[in-house]
Amino acid sequence: MRSSSPHSPRVVVLVEPAGELNVGSVARLCANFGVQSLRLVNPQCDHQSEDAQRMAVHGRLMLERATVHDSLLSALADCRRAVATCGRIDHGDIPLLTPDQALSWLLSSGDGPAREGEPVAVVFGREDRGLSNSELRLCQRVLSLHSDATYPSLNLSHAVAVVLHEMNRLQQHSLNDQAVGPDPAPASAMSGFLNDAESLLLEVGYLLPHTASARMAKVNDLLQRATTGPDEVALLRGMVRQLRWAVRARRP
């Protein structure tokens, strides 16, 4: 069974970070734990400030090379697998995994065709409210740390430290050697299919505008649990487009 570490660069994604000290600390952690790149989605602070650089210490090069993206979908565009972190109790029906479960899956190359060079990502949310449910659903797995239920949310840099430590521990102890299935469809492909399907289902009256978002979220959860691959998503999207054509062709 293949381990992903030789061929899958690891990236950390921060969504709308607001604290320069936190961003600098995360850059240092990325350097500590061998993360290849840091990606920032719509940062709410100057990530190149003096304070950020001071906290980065020997991770300053990581900070300087950090890329900025306008959306989480853009930041995950080239990632073959992504795990989101959640410290909220109001995450709805989204299943939460332990770090061992989620990170072992993230690091495994599975039994599908190898996609060498494509990174795997861990995504962290805003300091004050984390990731939204729609952002969690752009990732194929969601983990929750073993914090106390009365106050589950950790400081951003502390959460990053725990997760990256667990990733290295799993790699060093070869807990990710077991194949766990092929890679899922990229977030952009899944999002495009769901948008197409929602549009068609609204058009034929299966969905109603005020419930469409909640119903499609359940469809997304189902497909993510099944680890639906890129070829399968392409098949489903082709079916939706053909059905749309057939509906319109038969309409008087």
Q: What is the CATH number of the domain that holds 89?
A: 3.40.1280.10
CB 185 within 8 A of CB 233: yes
Q: Verify that 168 and 192 share a domain, yes or no.
A: no
Q: Verify that 101 and 23 share a domain, yes or no.
A: yes
* 3 within domain boundaries: no
The residue with greater pLDDT, 143 or 174, is: 143
Last residue of a domain, which of 127, 143, 172? 172
Q: Verify that 233 and 147 share a domain, yes or no.
A: no
* 224 within domain boundaries: yes
Q: Verify that 30 and 141 share a domain, yes or no.
A: yes
* 110 within domain boundaries: yes
Poorest-pLDDT segment among 83-92, 153-162, 174-183: 174-183
Of 243, 231, 227, 206, which Cα lies nearest the Cα of 82?
Answer: 227
> Which residues on adjacent β-strands are paired with residue 15?
41
| Cα dist from 38 to 30, 76, 97, 112, whole Å | 7, 12, 24, 27
CB 83 within 8 A of CB 102: yes
* 232 within domain boundaries: yes
Q: Verify that 202 and 106 share a domain, yes or no.
A: no
Stretch (H or E) spanning 66: none
Q: Verify that 191 and 140 share a domain, yes or no.
A: no
Q: Mean pLDDT of all residues in the chain?
A: 88
The b/e string for 196-214 (b: 16+ C-beta within 10 A; e otherwise) is bbbebbeeeeebeeeeeee
Sheet architecture: strand order including 141-143: 67-69, 37-41, 10-15, 120-124, 81-85, 141-143
**pLDDT tens per residue across span 89-108:** 777 789 999 999 999 999 98
**pLDDT tens per residue across span 20-36:** 999 999 999 999 999 99
Rounded CA gap, 21 and 3, in Å?
34
* 70 within domain boundaries: yes
* 180 within domain boundaries: no
User: Torsion angle of alpha carbons 102, 190, 112, 39, nearest 10°?
Assistant: -60
Helix axes 156-172, 20-32, angle to 10 degrees: 10
Q: Verify that 32 and 154 share a domain, yes or no.
A: yes
Q: Verify that 165 and 196 share a domain, yes or no.
A: no
Of 216, 181, 29, 204, which Cα lies nearest the Cα of 109?
Answer: 181
Mean pLDDT over 187-202 rounds to 92
Of 106, 165, 167, which Cα lies nearest the Cα of 140?
Answer: 106
Chain-centre distance for alpha carbon 154: 18
- Show the domain range for 223: 187-249
User: What's the domain count of the chain?
Assistant: 2
Q: Verify that 110 and 26 share a domain, yes or no.
A: yes
Q: Verify that 41 and 159 share a domain, yes or no.
A: yes
* 114 within domain boundaries: yes
**pLDDT tens per residue across span 99-153:** 999 999 999 865 555 456 789 999 999 999 999 999 999 999 999 998 877 787 7
Q: Verify that 163 and 208 share a domain, yes or no.
A: no
* 5 within domain boundaries: no
Poorest-pLDDT segment among 58-72, 114-128, 197-211: 114-128
Rounded CA gap, 92 and 95, in Å?
8
pLDDT of residue 235: 93
pLDDT higher than 50, residue 3:
no
CB 39 within 8 A of CB 12: yes
Q: Verify that 132 and 223 share a domain, yes or no.
A: no
Last residue of a domain, which of 172, 197, 212? 172
